[in-house]
Homo-oligomer: A and B are copies of this chain.
Amino acid sequence: MSRTPLHPTREQIELPMVLDCLSDPIRLAIVYQLAQQERVSSELRCGDFNGLAGKSNLAYHFAKLRECGLMQTRIVGTSRLMRLRREDLDARFPGLLDAVINSAAKDADRLQPLSECDVVEAD
């Protein structure tokens, strides 16, 4: 059985909230890692981000990413499974997510949490 916490609908996703959410280097690194992973697996677990920050700090960032509409979370048993809301974001703000992810990839060496992920050159 899976539970789903509250998410904004596609239409409720707001540009200033999304930009504000992405302005934090740890959240940028989480989004970057989710984007890299999209090709392999659509969902990641909390534990996959352990290199980025402490557990409670991560929980805070996951909530911010969910509340602004960047990330979809579902709870299965004791696990949280997370994925990017790419379709919703691309529909609301065409090109924005890719531009941010490519910019982050370009600056990976400056964005300290990002450089701890396995940085793969963005397309």
Let me know if A75 is at the binding interface, CB within 8 A: no
Min C-beta distance of A65 to chain B, whole Å: 14
Min C-beta distance of A116 to chain B, whole Å: 16
Q: Contact between A103 and B93 (Cβ–Cβ < 8 Å)? A: yes
Distance between Cα atoms of A93 and B108 in the complex (Å): 12
Min C-beta distance of A2 to chain B, whole Å: 32
Identify the stretch in A13-21, A39-47, A77-85 within 8 Å (CB) of chain B at 4 or more residues. Answer: A13-21
Min C-beta distance of A67 to chain B, whole Å: 14
- State which of B14, B16, B25, B95 has its C-beta within 8 Å of the C-beta of A99: B95
In the complex, chain B residues whose CB is within 8 Å of the CB of A111: 15-16
In the complex, chain B residues whose CB is within 8 Å of the CB of A106: 92-94
Question: Chain A interface (Cβ within 8 Å of chain B)?
Answer: 14-17, 19-20, 22-25, 28, 92-96, 98-100, 102-104, 106-107, 110-111
